Each structure stands twice: as structure tokens, then as C-alpha cells.
């Protein structure tokens, strides 16, 4: 039965993902990953599909807002710009997809509170991080490191600003409100908001501590790019070389989802 639902849902999700690819929001690999996660969401029921579609649409809109200025501010720091690839889609949507898949056992009833809390919390964490990044870079001025509170370049992982923090709260609240709109309980909605904000905080802490940070000795600046904009291959200076921003996002989403499950019981 589950296989039939997935088989019917995948073409629908594939059409949406293809449209996002044509619009420049996803790379080809990103569209493939989005089709898989979206197919699971559609199979799980319309509440899951609505959550994912609104999250993706709002995140894409924010990414496009002032894109030229944001890329100018962060081009020497951030490793990935523009359309999201498969790693980025998976990092932000894996926990949600697992939750949606788990909830298939309860279909077509209202979303199981445990699975729905996991999915909503993970998505809220991703939304909080995305909104904080996109709004903070554009309007937040010079951010500060969460570790030593010194100013750091825009786009630095583990950096925060007041405007960006407000964006994180708004992103988590938006998902919480959406949970209510699709029939979720107030308890799950509140848990998702708290899990989302906590997940964004975990993202900042991991970004400032264990995420790989590189150095360009030609430009004498820190970066997250393996090859800097000047063309020089960069060298690791701290963090773990195998932990990049995608993996940090992945871990933050799981943290937000698990906290949401704990609070939503």
C-alpha cells in the first residue's frame, strides 16, 4: 500500500521539482533530491505536502531577495551560491522526509503527533536558519561570532546579528503557524517553534566550533571555500575538515526535530 502511494506521489513531486529547476532555485541534482523528499511528503498527506511547499517557496523567495548584493557581500566566504544542489536539499529535508515516511503508517488520519512534531521541528530549524541567513546578510550589517562576539565577515558560519536573530524567530514561527493551519495541535506547533529556534542556535554553535574553516594566504582572510575567489587553494585553520555547512545544517535539523518530539509529547 505504501509503495502505491509513493509511486503515485513521485510524479507530482517531480513536476514541482522540475519547475523549481527551470526557475533556477534547484540544480539538476537538487531537483532529483527534492522530488524524492517531496514524493514522500505528498504520499504522507496534504498537511506534509503543504508544509514542505510553503517552506521551500518562502526560502526560495528569501534567497532571491537582494541576491546580487548578498553574493557581493559573501562571495569570498560562502562556498555555495545560487541554486541548491542535492547535498543542500538533503541536509535541509532529510529529517522531514524520514518523519513523513514514518507517518505513512497512520495515513489517511490526521498526522501522527510524534512523526509530525519531528518533521515540523526539523523543518522549523531549517527555516529559522535560512531566514536568519538571508535576512541577516541583507539587513543585519556586520555580524558577530557567537563564541567571542567579535565582528566577522558577513556569511561567516556561527555568526549572528540582531536582525538575523529576529529572522530566525520569524522563520520558526511561520512553520508553527503553518502546523496549526494544516490541522496540527497547538502543542505540536509550539514544540516546532521552540525546536526550530533551538535548531538554529545549534547550527550557529556548530558552525562556530566544529565546522571546517579555511584560510587564503594570498588574500589573508578566512573562508569556507576550498578554492578562494582569487584562485588560490585554501588551507584548514580550525574545525574538522569533513564537517561543512551542509552537514551542520543536517545536524541542526535533527536536533530541532528531536527537541520538538520531546516537547510535543
What would you measure as the largest C-alpha separation in the chain, in angstroms? 59
Contact partners, residue 54, CB within 8 Å, separation at least 6: 178
- What is the structure's pLDDT at 108? 55
Q: Are 210 and 57 in contact (CB under 8 A)?
A: no
Q: pLDDT band for 105, please (50, 70, 90 cuts).
A: confident
Q: Are 159 and 200 in contact (CB under 8 A)?
A: no
Lowest mean pLDDT among 22-26, 47-51, 94-98, 209-213: 22-26
Tell whether the model's pLDDT for residue 249 goes beyond 90.
Answer: yes
Count of residues for the chain? 265
From CA 156, how far away is CA 110, in angstroms rounded?
41
Contact partners, residue 86, CB within 8 Å, separation at least 6: 27, 29, 30, 32, 33
- What is the structure's pLDDT at 9? 79
Tell whether the model's pLDDT for residue 111 goes beyond 70.
Answer: no
Tell whether the model's pLDDT for residue 4 goes beyond 60.
Answer: yes
Q: Are 66 and 130 in contact (CB under 8 A)?
A: no
- What is the structure's pLDDT at 30? 94
pLDDT, one tens digit per residue, over 119-135 is 999 999 999 999 999 99
From CA 201, how far away is CA 219, in angstroms rounded?
30
pLDDT, one tens digit per residue, over 179-203 is 999 999 999 999 999 999 999 999 9
Ordered by start, the domain boundaries in the chain are 2-213+241-263
Amino acid at each position: 500500500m505504501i509503495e502505491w502511494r509513493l509511486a503515485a506521489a513521485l510524479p507530482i513531486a517531480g513536476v514541482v521539482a522540475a519547475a523549481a529547476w527551470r526557475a533556477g532555485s534547484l540544480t539538476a541534482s537538487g531537483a532529483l533530491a527534492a522530488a524524492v523528499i517531496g514524493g514522500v511528503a505528498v504520499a504522507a498527506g496534504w498537511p506534509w505536502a503543504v508544509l514542505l511547499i510553503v517552506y521551500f517557496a518562502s526560502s526560495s523567495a528569501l534567497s532571491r531577495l537582494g541576491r546580487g548584493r548578498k553574493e557581493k557581500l559573501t562571495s569570498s566566504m560562502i562556498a555555495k551560491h545560487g541554486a541548491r544542489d542535492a547535498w543542500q536539499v538533503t541536509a535541509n529535508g532529510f529529517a522531514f522526509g524520514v518523519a513523513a515516511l514514518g507517518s505513512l503508517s497512520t495515513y489517511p488520519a490526521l498526522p501522527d503527533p510524534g512523526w509530525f512534531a519531528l518533521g515540523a521541528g526539523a523543518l522549523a530549524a531549517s527555516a529559522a536558519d535560512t531566514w536568519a541567513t538571508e535576512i541577516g546578510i541583507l539587513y543585519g550589517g556586520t555580524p558577530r561570532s557567537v563564541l567571542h562576539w567579535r565582528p566577522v565577515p558577513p556569511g561567516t558560519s556561527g555568526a549572528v546579528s540582531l536582525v538575523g536573530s529576529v529572522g530566525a524567530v520569524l522563520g520558526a514561527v511561520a512553520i508553527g503557524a503553518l502546523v496549526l493551519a494544516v490541522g496540527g495541535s497547538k502543542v505540536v506547533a509550539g514544540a516546532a517553534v521552540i525546536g526550530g529556534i533551538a535548531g538554529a542556535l545549534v547550527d550557529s554553535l556548530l558552525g562556530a566550533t566544529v565546522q571546517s574553516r579555511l584560510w587564503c594566504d594570498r588574500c589573508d582572510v578566512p573562508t569556507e571555500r576550498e578554492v578562494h575567489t582569487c584562485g588560490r587553494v585554501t588551507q584548514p585553520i580550525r574545525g574538522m575538515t569533513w564537517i561543512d555547512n551542509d552537514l551542520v545544517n543536517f545536524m541542526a535539523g535533527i536536533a530541532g526535530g528531536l527537541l520538538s518530539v520531546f516537547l510535543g509529547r
